[in-house]
Homo-oligomer: A and B are copies of this chain.
């Protein structure tokens, strides 16, 4: 077994960084400045380095692209994409990660010079490089599911947030309206989902809302189910 005949390949880590802006789910895209797909839009990502673990590579790419402290953000592996023809440069396998960010003041303040910007997820299918449209679709579906069964929605919000803001996350990610009154009670009765914080947030019009911060719970039981489309 001195000379191994099996395949050697390269591995990239690609990120689907999602946020909610103006009541719509957005994804961070970059414009590619190198071939292949030069000038096209793509998910941010890069090659794995020697000695680097996969989550570390994802956090490194995240901080390069967004100047966010990766330790604070939710980061979760989605899947591996390794079809032989997916990258014209050769055999490149991609590990896709889902990241959830609050609405950022500056989307592209990273050290990387590439133009990065937020795009609504339902406006970009078909325009992405490589198989990134499929990766994005899988990431969005994963996020939708995570909102049902975990407290991930709070990761879309800032340090403190109102119940309405949290509900806006659900409505944006699920793409459907959610009853404000039932939602409030479900969240409040979900042990450890949110904790009361000091202060109020004054909306443009109407009664000020109480502020909350993330609670310790990771899983939601019972889950917050979206109406199943299945008949």
Residues of A within 8 A of B (CB): 1, 4, 6-11, 34, 47-54, 77, 79-80, 82-84, 91, 93, 95, 191, 219, 221-222, 228, 230-231
Is B6 a contact of A9 with CB atoms below 8 Å?
no
Q: What CA separation (Å) do A221 and B191 show in the bound complex?
A: 25
Given A191-B231, A221-B228, A221-B231, A11 and B48 contact (CB-CB distance below 8 Å)? no
List of B residues within 8 angstroms of A52 by Cβ: 7, 84
- 5 cross-chain CB contacts under 8 A: A4-B47, A48-B82, A54-B82, A80-B80, A221-B230
CA distance A53 to B93 in the complex (A): 10
Chain B residues within 8 Å of A9, by CB: 8-11, 48
Task: Judge whether A6 and B47 touch: CB under 8 Å.
Answer: yes
Q: Kindly report how many copies of this chain are found in the complex they form together.
A: 2
**New contact pairs (19) apart from A53-B82, A54-B82, A93-B93, CB-CB < 8 Å:** A4-B47, A6-B10, A6-B47, A6-B49, A7-B10, A7-B52, A9-B9, A9-B11, A11-B82, A11-B93, A48-B82, A52-B84, A54-B80, A77-B80, A80-B80, A80-B95, A219-B230, A221-B228, A221-B230
- The distance in angstroms between the C-alpha atoms of A80 and B77, with both chains bound, is 8
- Give every chain B residue within 8 A of A231 (Cβ-Cβ): 191, 221
List chain B residues, Cβ under 8 A from A77.
79-80
Could you say which residues of chain B place their CB within 8 Å of the CB of A219?
230
